[in-house]
Chains A and B, each alone.
Chain A
Amino acid sequence: MHEQDSDEMISMLSRLAWRSVGRNKRRTIITVLSIALGLTFALFFITLAEGAYYQMIRDSVRMQAGHITLEQKDYRDAPAVDLYIKNPGELRNRIEALPDVEETKLLILGQGVARSGNGAVGVAVMGIEPSVEAGSSPLAKKIIKGEFLADTDDNLVIIGSSLASRLKLDLEKKLVLTTSDANGDLVDELCRVKGIFQTGSDEVDGFLVQLPINFARKLFTMPEGSATQLGVILKNQGKLNSVLKKIRGMLNDKDIVALPWREVMPELAAYITLDRTSNYIFQIILITLILFTIFNTILMSVLERRREFAILLAIGTPPGQLQLQVLFETIIFGIIGVGLGLLLGGAIAYYFRVHGLDISAFLKEGVTVSGFAMDTKMHARITAPIMLWSALIVFFATLLLSIFPMRRAARTPFADILR
């Protein structure tokens, strides 16, 4: 009996709620639109921002040493080419076997001086595996003259446009790299320019020389197969912690550590956290404004129907039932509003995901964060968590707002009103 009652009551209440919602179309439209637009704006900003961060991380880890970097434990404090990983090959195979790993890369990072007939510049020397990097390296996409490196390129390098102009270098011209090798001896190697890149970052374009890792080993007198860093690139950024744990479990050499990108590039991590936080604060303010409207509407609708509620209460309707009716109305507003907002917001985000938002008109100089050049085209990033959480937060906030109006409904002083 009891169950039947509650089922009946729910269906009756929902019918009443629907009717009330339908009766006052204007109010319904405004409320639903407010929720929808609020959610849409929030989604627009959040997806664009998340897209920008995702791109920054993705480009930086592919430029540098991956989402997870393995290196000698003392390397980070005092980088030097004699602190290298002797035999990364076996470890590499085991890591690549992990399901969430997209690829691994070996790097040799060192310092040196690049000289031409026209001067000398202190540079960062980066030995890479061309076949691995060709598909993913941001530099490979920014070659403006010549070509990217190939595995068989001995003594060929790629340099930035600023370095090229400073040393008056062009394709096939020679430069001499002078450096201290892993034994501390001074060494020279002749190189020729295979390609010139331009990223927009002064630090990269003016001071980075990339060369095939075999050539780097020759230059720095390092054993075959060795590297200063083993970088791991993940398929999904979200799996970082679990993969990191697995990799740490594989390390039995106490000299080698595995670091997440946040420790290798702390400035980038800090920038993203800072920007994301300020973005969320803005969203909270925005949603708050929207919620005022919603609160207002729901409350007004309750107050407008005081007479109606008064009569219902007078004839013995339990106050709880009135509250439920208000709640149901709110739920209806919420569902339609959130649904509409997800559709609209999702559509706009999708548009920007595909076409991207080009802000280069504002940024003539390009953007660099701690020396990394950022893409000026922002692509929105839509993920299930973003859509879900935004929708849920707005929905439940709306429901919470109805509490006060609900109580007012229940406590309508029907005796006074009906007099």
Chain B
Amino acid sequence: MPLHVVYAQSGKLSARDILNKVDDLYRGDASTGEMTMAIVTENWSRTLTMQIWAKGKDKSLIRILSPAKEQGTATLRVGNDIWNYLPKVNRTIKVSSSMMSQSWMGSHFTNDDLVRESRMADDYTFETTFDGVRDGIKVIEITCIPKPEAAIVWGKIVLTVKDESYIPLSILYYDESMNLVRTLIFSDIKNMDGRDIPMKMTVVPADKPDESTIVTYNQITFSTPIDDSVFSLRNLENP
């Protein structure tokens, strides 16, 4: 359902609805797109461009377009399984449980982040903790605490969205001792294929504030259907 219809109907959204909206922001039944990822670490910086296909909640394929050295490297995710195809050696390896917490392609995202199925509205208990003006912008802040049985490592996450449009501005991740561990910032809002979406996501680790991973969507569509065969090992290795 187009977003403008939703909020024209009922005025302010409930916290639950806001959370669901954010969770569904980049998902659709099917989405394809192209993005650039710029990683800055203490010892090196690099930029990758990649193509993504995603279907539903549990299928995604990401293929690296540049730099040339890594062109063709692809990650396929189906359910809880992840495979990496390495064109340089023409081999595919399955990512085992021990690798799930490793960083994905050197970024500040982990393999785990790709697979993460948790929905804020379902796996957390939440409440609106701020509704007003901050830094000149009208925002709503929702604090979420993971439910006791949820397999989530965080102590709490704090989501801040723009009032009225409910577009996310930031998510802060805290460990159980309530120390900030990482910050996710959304920016560059554009309208893509009928949705208002932040085109840029920046991840900053709290212990190394000079490092960051910035993901910028160059282009994204939500309407083109994708065949299931796209999310197969065969397609992974032979595009």
Contacts and interface: CB of A to CB of B under 8 A. Distances in A.
A and B touch in the complex (CB under 8 A): yes
B154 A117 contact: yes
B1 to A, nearest CB: 32
A54 to B, nearest CB: 37
A116 B181 CA distance: 11
Given A186-B100, A189-B151, A118 B80 contact: no
Interface string B165-182: 000000001111101010
A72 B155 CA distance: 41
Interface residues of B, number: 24
B151 A190 contact: yes
Given A116-B175, A118-B181, A122-B98, A176 B151 contact: yes
B101 A168 contact: no
B97 A179 contact: yes
Contacts of B177: 117, 168, 173
Interface stretch (A107-115, A294-302, A381-389): A107-115
Contact of A173 (B96, B97, B176): B176
B42 interface: no
- Dominant secondary structure at the A interface: strand
A185 B153 CA distance: 20
Nearest to B173: A117
Interface in B44-80: 80
Contacts of A179: 97
B100 A178 contact: yes
Contacts of B174: 117
B152 interface: yes
Nearest to B95: A186
B183 to A, nearest CB: 14
Contacts of B80: 185-187
Interface string A170-184: 000111101110000
Contacts of A173: 176-177
B175 A115 contact: no
B149 interface: yes
Given A175-B153, A185-B80, A188-B151, A116 B96 contact: no
Interface string A120-138: 1010000000000000000
Nearest to A189: B151
A115 B101 contact: yes
A190 B146 CA distance: 11
Contact of B98 (A111, A119, A174): A111
A113 B96 CA distance: 10
A231 B112 CA distance: 36
B154 A178 contact: no
B100 A190 contact: no
Name the residue in A112, A117, A120, A174 with the highest tally of chain B Cβ atoms < 10 Å from its Cβ. Answer: A117
B176 A180 contact: no
B75 to A, nearest CB: 15
Contacts of A120: 100-101
Contacts of A174: 153, 176
B36 to A, nearest CB: 27
Contacts of B81: 186
B97 A190 contact: no
B97 A112 contact: yes
A178 B97 contact: yes
Contacts of B112: 115, 178
A180 B181 contact: no
A190 B176 contact: no
Contact of B155 (A115, A117, A155, A190): A117
B150 interface: yes
B175 A190 contact: no
Interface of A: 111-113, 115-120, 122, 155, 168, 173-176, 178-180, 185-190
5 contacts: A112-B97, A117-B155, A155-B149, A168-B175, A173-B176
List the 8 shortest-distance A-B pairs measured between CB atoms, nearest first: A117-B175, A120-B101, A186-B80, A188-B151, A190-B151, A117-B153, A173-B176, A176-B151
Interface of B: 80-81, 96-98, 100-101, 112, 115, 148-155, 173-177, 179, 181
